[in-house]
């Protein structure tokens, strides 16, 4: 294994040895290629550069106590990438090709998969871009698929510790009928200003409200939102949020724990009734929320009174990461072993 300070890894780019690439040209996908270059050569008129034909995914590889490497719900990421591709008229990728490329990228960089117990994981970033030259607004005819990996620590600096987040009412991440439910780069460009405002004001991230009425909760930066009350897991249903694979898994785990699960529009005022609140995603895992501030309305909502993660969030977190690292049996069939 590489000699890296695994326990203090930030969530940021880290050069590893290889990446995997594949091209769609002349109506068909080619063979997977292995590269040791961090750079790609692009036509200056590529549609990804001008018209945002760019989608990506995010998943992780986890090293267990048994030293085996596990991937979590790989097929769900493959399916979501294809939904994103359909959403902005890009070429879809065969599911098996996606899986093969991810597994190959992890295996080739096996020495960068952090040791068990360090809190670090190997973040996997699959990327699909339009590379064909166009000047008129239309989809490219050729595409490039790339998978690179980086060892990372927790996305929110404090890991499984409560954070404060902020509502920025004058910035929307996605339009009601727009691309918010796809993992397209443009959504993240649209979120940068509100993230900067939140960070500059001392908050971990921003909480997006529905763009049409600003009445309902959408999501929490690069993560979905959930609230807990009366043995119930409540999470927003909205056309403009990314369907999180972590959230989908937490809903199943909450049901396993005998909780009721509600996925429906969540009015902002309902925040007052939650006993616990959290942000969830591959990078965020579960990040408990301590306080949500709504500066324009001069209001705030607090959870985690004793500044500690709540009991239900803690149980869900422990269960989720135990499955990911192989400490709990994989009852739901979510794990792919990298062999």
The site partner of 324 among ligand COI, ligand PLP, none (C-beta below 5 to 8 Å per kind) is none
Q: Does 282 bind ligand COI (CB under 6 A)?
A: yes
Measured from the CB of residue 290, what is the shortest distance to ligand COI in angstroms? 20
Residue nearer to ligand PLP on the CB measure, 60 or 290 = 60
Measured from the CB of residue 222, what is the shortest distance to ligand PLP in angstroms? 4
- Answer whether 161's CB lies under 8 Å from 77's CB: no
Q: Does 222 bind ligand COI (CB under 6 A)?
A: yes
Which residues 46-65 are close enough to bind ligand COI by CB under 6 A?
58
Name the site residues for ligand PLP (rule: CB under 6 A). Answer: 58, 219, 222-224, 242, 244-247, 281-282
Segment interacting with ligand COI, rule: CB under 6 A, options 17-25, 129-137, 160-168, 280-288: 280-288
The rounded distance, in Å, linking the Cα atoms of 52 and 255 is 39
Residues 6+ apart with CB under 8 A from 92: 82, 85, 86
Nearest residue to ligand PLP, scored by beta-carbon proximity: 281
Is residue 258 exposed (0-12), middle (13-18) or buried (19+ Cβ within 10 Å)? exposed
Q: Does 283 bind ligand COI (CB under 6 A)?
A: yes
Residue nearer to ligand PLP on the CB measure, 16 or 235 = 235
The rounded distance, in Å, linking the Cα atoms of 122 and 102 is 12
60: DSSP letter: E
Strand blocks (E) in the chain: 19-25, 28-29, 33-35, 54-56, 59-63, 69-72, 121-130, 143-152, 163-167, 205-209, 217-220, 224-229, 232-236, 260-264, 276-281, 285-294, 299-302, 335-338
Instruction: Determine phi and psi for 81, rounding to 5 degrees.
Output: -60, -40
Measured from the CB of residue 223, what is the shortest distance to ligand PLP in angstroms? 5
Residue nearer to ligand PLP on the CB measure, 109 or 205 = 205
Measured from the CB of residue 221, what is the shortest distance to ligand COI in angstroms? 8
Measured from the CB of residue 125, what is the shortest distance to ligand COI in angstroms? 8
The rounded distance, in Å, linking the Cα atoms of 318 and 316 is 6
Which residues 22-41 are close enough to bind ligand COI by CB under 6 A?
none
Residue nearer to ligand COI on the CB measure, 73 or 142 = 73
Number of residues that bind ligand COI (CB under 6 A): 5
The rounded distance, in Å, linking the Cα atoms of 188 and 202 is 20
- Answer whether 102's CB lies under 8 Å from 51's CB: no
The site partner of 287 among ligand COI, ligand PLP, none (C-beta below 5 to 8 Å per kind) is none
- 301-322 core/surface letters (b: 16 or more CB in 10 A; e: else): bebbeeeebbebbeebbebbbe
Residue nearer to ligand COI on the CB measure, 12 or 307 = 12
Sign of CA dihedral 38, 28, 43, 180: negative
The site partner of 238 among ligand PLP, ligand COI, none (C-beta below 5 to 8 Å per kind) is none
Residue nearer to ligand COI on the CB measure, 59 or 319 = 59
Residue nearer to ligand COI on the CB measure, 281 or 288 = 281
Residue nearer to ligand COI on the CB measure, 129 or 283 = 283
Residues that bind ligand COI (CB under 6 A): 58, 222, 281-283
């Amino acid at each position: 294994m590489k000699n890296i300070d695994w326990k203090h890894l930030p969530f940021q780019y880290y050069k590893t040895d290889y990446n995997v690439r594949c091209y769609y040209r002349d109506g068909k996908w080619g063979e997977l290629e292995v590269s040791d270059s961090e750079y790609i050569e692009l036509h200056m008129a590529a549609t990804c550069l001008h018209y945002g034909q760019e989608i990506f995914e995010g998943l992780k590889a986890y090293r267990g106590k048994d030293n085996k490497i596990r991937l979590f719900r790989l097929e769900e990421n493959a399916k979501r990438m294809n939904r994103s591709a359909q959403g902005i008229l890009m070429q879809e990728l065969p599911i098996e090709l996606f899986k093969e490329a991810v597994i190959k990228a992890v295996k080739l960089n096996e020495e960068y998969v952090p040791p068990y117990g360090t809190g670090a994981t190997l973040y996997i970033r699959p990327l699909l871009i339009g590379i064909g030259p166009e000047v008129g607004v239309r989809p490219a005819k050729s595409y490039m698929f790339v998978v690179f990996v980086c060892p990372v620590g927790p996305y929110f600096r404090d890991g499984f510790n409560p954070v404060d987040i902020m509502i920025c009412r004058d910035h929307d991440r996605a339009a009601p009928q727009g691309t918010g439910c796809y993992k397209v780069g443009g959504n993240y460009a649209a979120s940068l200003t509100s993230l900067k405002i939140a960070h500059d004001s001392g908050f971990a991230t921003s909480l997006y409200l529905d763009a049409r009425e600003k009445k309902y909760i959408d999501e929490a930066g690069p993560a979905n939102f959930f609230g807990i009350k009366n043995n119930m897991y409540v999470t927003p249903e909205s056309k403009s949020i990314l369907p999180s694979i972590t959230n989908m898994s937490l809903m199943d785990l909450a049901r396993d724990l005998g909780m009721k699960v509600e996925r429906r529009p969540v009015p902002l005022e309902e925040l007052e009734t939650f006993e616990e609140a959290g942000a969830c995603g591959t990078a965020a895992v579960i990040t408990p929320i301590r306080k949500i501030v709504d500066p324009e309305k001069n209001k705030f909502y607090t959870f985690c009174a004793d500044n500690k993660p709540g009991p239900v969030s803690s149980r869900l977190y422990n269960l989720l990461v135990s499955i990911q690292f192989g400490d709990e049996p994989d009852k739901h069939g979510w794990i792919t072993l990298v062999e």
